[in-house]
Each structure stands twice: as structure tokens, then as C-alpha cells.
Structure 1
Amino acid sequence: MKTEIIEGILTLKVDMVSTLTLAILLLFLGNFLKKKVKFFEKFCIPAPVIGGLLFSIVALILKQSNVVNISMDITLQSPFMLVFFTTIGLGGSFALVKKGGVPLIIYWLLCCILAIMQNIIGVVAAKAVNLHPLLGVMMGSVSMEGGHGAAAAFGPVAEGLGIEGATTVAIAAATFGLISGGLIGGPIAKMLIDKYDLTPNEESKEKSKSYKEVAGIKDIGKVTSQMFLIQLAVISVCMSIGSLICDWIAKTGTVLPGYVGAMFVAVIFRNINDKLSIVKLDFYTIELIGDVALGIFLSMALMTLKLWELANLAGPMLIVVICQVVFIALYTIFVVFRFLGKDFDAAIMVAGMAGHGLGATPNAMANMSSVTEKYGHSTKAFLIVPLVGAFLIDLVGIPTIIWFINTFK
């Protein structure tokens, strides 16, 4: 670390290793605060979001007070992002899709429609309040269905196209969406269950296999150095091939985030490996690597937010994200619930979609758990929602985002 005077203010330049160290410490701080503050736990606010945002607020105060400006080296942010999205791709087994049956396909299609509509609403609403359309995309499925991960990944892409403050807007919208998804999911499901007098079916009462059990992901496992290296090698190879593909596509003039290629290569490898058994994939270890990478990536992305860029955007941005919340509430009640069969499972899946459609899959699980604790279990919902929310939606959602970015850049 070193200091110098830039534009009349003391600037602290934090090197790559120190930035990584700070990101990890803030991740621990976020975990600590999440356990201590009921609000964070209730709305499933991710630990890196808590720690990272807290630091970015402190950095904002220090900068605005002309005390010190903190500049950090985020070289390692991109590799951690690539690792996380590659692990998501390795979870994309088409065999699991078959286990979900027709309801899974319907739910998936409904999520795809939601992703498209969120981008349309974002662009239209942004234009209505005199914001650049790409900021509307950032407040569309990037931050809503995509959550903080996609917000932190696509924000720099938009900034690279000259849209100042895109990452900050996307992260802020994702945070608003995360809280909103936790607020409306349970009440909507409760309203539907009470209105139509819905009860769990016999299969759900027996609590058959969950998504993780079907997918072969164990809650506990023994991680050996050999097994860890094998999974890391698979992830690295997928990342390298994906990067080559993205570089080739970029030469055509199409904007494509680096992690997209890695994720889709991982999906292809996973399904080929399921047939040919090239290597032994340990999904507990892969999930562990993904969780660590996501935590550090998000912590690093949040702690380097330039919150002062929100000053002139806060009002218009609030209008756009409120439109998103109102739409998903109406969409889940009047469209999703009906297409899924208007039964108990459909009501629980509505709570799930409100959660991951505005925030993240853990938010969806929290919504569904809060409802099922009172009314009874839904096997179908706990299989389908995380399966779609965790990775299937990305197969359509990400290409949709890329199309909107390239259309309105």
C-alpha cells in the first residue's frame, strides 16, 4: 500500500494482495453481522453484501469529507467471478431436468418470460425517467433475476461501453430487489393458499427427495487434496476454453462477458461427462469452491462501489425498480400461479419465483420455507425452484441480457 495526493485529496492505493485480504475480512464481518442482526437474517441478505456495502459507505464518507480516497487493485475479482460461474455451469445436468418433468419446463419457461419482461420494463422505464437504456437493462434481469452476482459481473461491461455508474446502479437495484423479494414472496403465497383453501398433496406430506439429494450434492463431505485438485483442474480448463471462445466472439463486435463462455463450456462438459465418465466430479467440492469464489468476488465488488455516482440517479432508479416489483407481484399471481396448476405446489413456487426473480435462489428457499413451515411441505417446489433458479434460468437469461446490451449500447 502507498499514499499520494491526487486532485488535492490524500489517496490510499491498496495493492492486489491487501485488497484480497480486505475482501475476506469483510466477508467474515458480514457473516458476523448477519448472525447478530435479525433484519439481515430475515431477508437473507448475503454476507459479502453486508460487509462490502458497509465498507463502501465508510469509503464514501471519507471521500466526501476530503479525508482520504481509497483506490483498490481488483485484479483478482475477475478470476473469482469466472470460477463461480463455471461451478454454476458444472451443475447444469440435463438429466436433472427430466426428473422435474413438465412442471419444471413450464416453470422454466415462465422464468424466461420474466427475464425478458424485466429487461423490457427496465428499458422503457429508464427512457421514461431520462436514463440511458443500458441503465434500464442493469435494473432489469441483470439485477432482478440475476441478483448481486450478475449485477457485479455485467456492471463493468456496461461501464466499458461508457455508462458511468452502471455497476453501482446494478448493485443498488439488486439489493432493493433482494429485500423486496423477501417481503412479497411469503404474503403472496399465503394469500393464494388462504383464498383457494389449498393443502399439500400426499407425496409432499411424505417429504421425498430434495433437489440436492436428486442432484447428488451431499451436505457434508470429506474434501481431499487430490479430489480438490481434480475439480479445480476441470474448472480451470472450462475457464480457459470459455475465455478463448469469448475472445473469438468479441472480434465480431458482439459484447460478451468473459464468464459466459466458461459457464456454457462447463454445462457442455458436465453433460458429456455424465455420459462418458471422463473424470469423477465431486459436487460437494465444486459447490464449496463456488461458494468461496462467490463470497470473495461479491465482497470485492461491493467494497469497491462508487456510491457517490448514485447521487443523481437515486430518484429515477427507485421508480424503475418499483415498477419491477409491481410487475412480478402481478405476474406471479395472475399468470404463474394459473399456469402451474393453481394448487398448493403452485402457490409455494410463486413464493420461490418472487424470491429468486427479485433476488437470489437462497431468497427463494427462505420464502418457501417460511410458508411451508406453516402450511405443509411441497416436494415439487423444493425440487423445481432451486434447479431452475440456480442455473437453468441462466441458459436463457444471460443470452437475453447480452442481446439487450448489444441492442441498446
Structure 2
Amino acid sequence: MQFSAMETLMIALLVLGSGQWLVHRVSILSRLNMPEPVVGGLLATIIVTGLQLGGLSLTFDESMKIPSMLFFFGAVGLAADFRLLKQGGWAMLLFAVLVIVLVALQDLAGVGMAKILGLEPYYGLIGGSVTMTGGHGTGAAWAGVFEKDFGLTGVSELAAASATFGLIFGALLGGPLAMFLIRRYRLAAPAHGAAEDASAYDKAEKPHPISAGSVIRILMLLSIGVVVGKAAAETFASVFRLPTFVWVLFVCILLGNTARRLWKVNDATIDVVGNTALGIFLAITLMSLQLLQLVDLALPMLAMLIGQVLLALAFITFVTFRLMGRNYDSAVLCAGHCGFAMGATPTAVANIQSVTQHHGPSPLAFIIVPVVGGFIVDIANATIIQTFVSMLSG
């Protein structure tokens, strides 16, 4: 059964709605901070796979998938405000370096484990930072590159499964790890200097009303970013072999910071537009998955992902915590690092919120984690992945 573009969009929106309903009704999904598009999309995947086993094959029009993905990464770029980099100081720089080192280690370990398990090394990247640090959006984006350029099969399905695996463990382990460190070393929230930083953070986080004008401005910037980014990807393809979404990300970073000097950029609008685009992209991607193609790769990939979880936990506990100062802020930062080293930036923010609600505020963590996890890590991850791809293919 073949669905048109509008029919596919309608089903994707139904999938998103079902994901919202499930997350609100099933408490464990809410506690794990599971994204609504992922929950609805995986449910759709199970239903589609069941129908396929019953002899009914469903085919969806995926023409809206790539534009939605590019709009999402463009929104990430627009939200990257250079002014926030000053607030984190040297702590932000050091934390960013540690994050980048772990990203490289994830890919190095992934490629090594893939070779040991008898898989193509590119599968090691999928089980590495592509999905562990990049999450569903980056995983699906790079999966398309691996399928098109290297002829791999089942990569989209593996990317979605790996990202979901990492998301669950990032949400499950981040808070408990921070609480263990706090109790083990008898740490307490700093008593001095927190009020000033907290007020600055609260001021930065004040919501602004979303209007038709703000939506139009953001869509205008995103459209420019996507068009210019695609043109740059085609123009420099022979020099810098980067996926189109990376170029769109770069262009929108420049557009967003330029626009902030010309008029007020509504971050709430960027979040709504970006999350909507990501939701549509994930829904179409997940409901189009072919799970039956994963049978031969399931056990090797599971072993690889378990290894990645152990690597992240060891690095964050023994390196990130110690080098960031072995204090309360560093313990909270460890919870955030778990979130986006095995999931996504929203999981990281949810982790540090959970810790600070129980043990006291950490304004430094609320400045560093969103900036590093939502901006710096995306650029570093794309660069490191591309470096590994070039080495493996060249």
C-alpha cells in the first residue's frame, strides 16, 4: 500500500499525537524523559512490522523527511548564541574538551568493536558517537549518508534502535551517577555566588510570547539557511565532504548571531519550530523502518552498545568528575554529560534538573550543559565522524 506525501504527513502527525498521549499516560515514559516522537514512532514501527509479517506492506512518501531534518538542524544553529559562551568561562572550555575527547573515544571504540565482531567499520560509527552523542536526528542523517555512499543496508533501523538504547540509558544513569558522587564525596551545593548566577540564568530563561511575526522571521532565516547550506554542500563537495545538514547548521549559526544584532530573536519560537520539524522527521523515519532487516546485526550491535555505555560511565566518573573539580558542580555536570553522551541534550538538561531539585542549585551547570550539548558537541561530533569516515574510505 502506497501513501502520498499528504497522507504520509497526516499519519506522521497521528504518530506524534499518539506519542504525546502515551508519554502523558504512562508514567515510566515520562520519568525516562522519552521523546514523544520516538515513543509514537516506535509504536508505529511495531504496527507496520506486524502488518508486514501478515503480508501487508506499507510504503510512505519520504519527500518531507529531508527538509524537516534540515529545518531541525537549522534551528539548532539559530539557537546557538555566541554571548552564552562568555558566561561559562574556562569551565565551559574544559568541559567542551572533555566532551570532544569522549566523542572521539566512542568512535574509536565503535570501529574497533565492529572489526572484532566481524562488521563493517561504518557500523561502529553508527554504534558510536553518531547515535550515542548525536541521538536520533544525527543518527538518521548519517544513516542516509552511509546507505547512499557506501551501500550499507539497515543503517536507518540500526541508527534508530541505537539512539533509543542510548537515550534510555542516558536518562536512567545520569541522575543516579551524580547522586552517587554527591554522597560518596559528601558534596553540597555552593552557598556563595549562586544567587547572582541563578538570577542571570532565570532572566535568560524567561519565556517570550510566540507570535505569527516571530514564526515568520524564524522560518525566513531557516529557509535561507537551508538553501544556502545546500548550495554550499554542492559547491564544496569536492573539497569538504560534509553532509548537507552540517553546512545548514554552520550557516544558521552565522545567521542567528547576525540576526540577534538586528532584531530580537525569539528563542521560544526557534524551539517550537525546530522541535516540530524534528518530530515530523522522526515520525516519518521511524514509521518507515524495516525491523526485519536487523535480525543478523542485532546481537553484535547490542554488544557494541553495552560497551559504549560502560565506556561513557567510566570516562565521566573517572575523568570528567575529577578534572572538573570533584565538587558539587562537577557532579551535576556528570549527570548532564551522561545525558548527551548517551542520548540527547534534552535528556542532559532533565538529568541536571532532577539532581538540582534534590540537592540544590548549580547555575554553572545550567549554563554549560545546554551550550556545550546543544551547540559545541554537534559541531565537534560532525567533524570527528567525518574524519573517521575519510580515514575508513580513503
TM-fit CA distance, 1:226:
2.6
In the alignment, is residue 405 of structure 1 matched against residue 389 of structure 2? yes
TM-score, structure 2 as length reference: 0.95
Alpha-carbon shift at residue 405 of structure 1 (Å): 2.2
Q: Which residue is equivalent to 1:244?
A: 231
Q: Residue 211 of structure 1 contacts residue 383 of structure 1 at CA under 8 Å; is this kept in 2?
A: no
Task: Kindly provide the amino acid, as one letter, of the partner of residue 173 in structure 1.
Answer: S
Tell me the residue number matched to 1:222: 209
Report matched runs for 1:175-186 at 5 Å: 175-186=164-175
Give yes or no for the alignment of 1:53 onto 2:37: no
The 2-side partners of 1:189 and 1:406 are apart by 37
2:90 is the alignment partner of 1:112 = no
- How far apart are 1:374 and its partner, in Å? 2.0
- Partners of 1:351 and 1:222 in 2: CA distance: 31
- Whether the 8 Å CA contact 1:204–1:378 is kept in 2: the answer is no
For 1:232-311, what aligned pairs fall within 5 Å after superposition? 232-252=219-239, 255-274=241-260, 277-311=261-295
The 5-angstrom pairing of residues 7-406 of structure 1 reads 12-66=1-55, 68-160=56-148, 161-203=150-192, 206=195, 208-209=197-198, 213=202, 216=204, 218-219=206-207, 221-252=208-239, 255-274=241-260, 277-406=261-390
Deviation at 1:288, TM superposition (A): 1.5
- Partner Cα separation in structure 2 for residue 211 and residue 317 of structure 1: 44
Are the aligned partners of 1:88 and 1:263 in contact in 2 as well (CA < 8 Å)?
Answer: yes
Q: 1:189 to 1:222 in 2, by over 3 A?
A: closer
Counterpart CA distance in 2 for 1:149 and 1:206 is 36
Letter in 1 for 2:231: L
Please report how far the alpha carbon of residue 390 of structure 1 lies from its aligned counterpart in structure 2 after TM superposition: 1.1
- CA distance 1:318–1:296, change in 2 (3 Å): same
1:249: Cα distance to partner? Answer: 2.2
Q: Distance between the aligned counterparts of 1:225 and 1:64, measured in 2? A: 45
- Output the CA distance in 2 between the equivalents of 1:148 and 1:142: 9
In 1, Cα distance between equivalents of 2:262 and 2:152 = 44
Contact 2:201 2:363 in 1 (8 A): no
Q: Any stretches of 5+ residues in structure 2 without a counterpart?
A: none
The alignment-based identity, stated in percent, is 36
Residue 403 of structure 1 aligns to a residue whose secondary structure is helix
TM-superposed CA distance for 1:296, in Å, is 1.1
Decide whether the 8 Å contact of 1:210 with 1:382 is kept in 2. no
**CA separation in 1, counterparts of 2:107 and 2:259?**
34
CA distance in 2, matches of 1:228, 1:65: 44
Q: Which whole-Å CA distance do the structure 2 matches of 1:127 and 1:211 have between them? A: 49
Give, in whole Å, the separation in 1 of the partners of 2:38 and 2:8: 16
Aligned residue pair count: 392
| 1:170 maps to amino acid | A
After superposition, give the CA deviation of every residue in 1:198-251 in whole Å (9 maximum; x if it has no partner): 00002475384378656x4543x3333233212211111111111110011224
Q: Which stretch of structure 1 is more off in the superposition, 184-193 or 343-352?
A: 184-193
Query: Is the 1:211–1:382 contact (alpha carbons within 8 Å) kept by the matching residues of 2?
Result: no
CA distance in 2, matches of 1:361, 1:147: 9
TM-aligned CA distance change 1:231 to 1:255, over 3 Å? same
Partner of 1:6: none
| TM-score (norm: length of structure 1) | 0.92
Q: What is the CA–CA distance in structure 2 between the aligned matches of 1:22 and 1:211, rounded to whole Å?
A: 42
Structure 1: how far apart are the matches of 2:368 and 2:269?
23
Unaligned runs of 5+ in 1: 1-11
Distance in 2 (alpha carbons) for counterparts of 1:273 and 1:25? 35
Deviations along 1:5-38, whole A, 9 cap, x unmatched? Answer: xxxxxxx001111111111110010010001112
Residues in 1 aligned to 2:131 and 2:145: alpha-carbon distance in whole angstroms: 14
Give the drift of 1:79.
0.6
Q: Is the 8 A contact 1:204 1:377 kept in 2?
A: no
CA distance in 1, matches of 2:39, 2:108: 30
CA contact 1:351–1:368 (8 Å) conserved in 2: yes
Q: Does structure 1 retain, via aligned residues, the 8 Å contact 2:12–2:280?
A: yes
Task: Return the alpha-carbon distance in structure 2 between the equivalents of residues 360 and 401 of structure 1.
Answer: 17
Shift in CA distance, 361/211, structure 1 to aligned 2, threshold 3 Å = farther
SS at match of 2:187: coil
- 2: CA distance, partners of 1:346 / 1:210: 20
Between 255-264 and 306-315, the greater mean CA deviation after superposition? 255-264
- Alpha-carbon RMSD across the aligned residues, in angstroms, is 1.7
Pick which of 91-100 and 198-207 moved more: 198-207
The superposition leaves residues 339-365 of structure 1 with CA deviations (integer Å, 9 ceiling, x where unpaired) of 100000000100110111100112112
Paired residues of 1:204 and 1:380 also in contact (CA < 8 A): no
Query: 1:15–1:72: 8 Å Cα contact kept in structure 2?
Result: yes
Is the contact made by 2:210 and 2:266 (CA closer than 8 Å) also made in structure 1? Answer: no
Partner of 1:8: none
**CA 223–190 in structure 1, closer or farther in 2 if over 3 Å, else same:** closer
Instruction: Name whichever of 136-145 and 369-378 sits farther off.
Output: 369-378
Distance 1:258 1:114, change over 3 A: same
Q: Offset at 1:269? A: 2.3
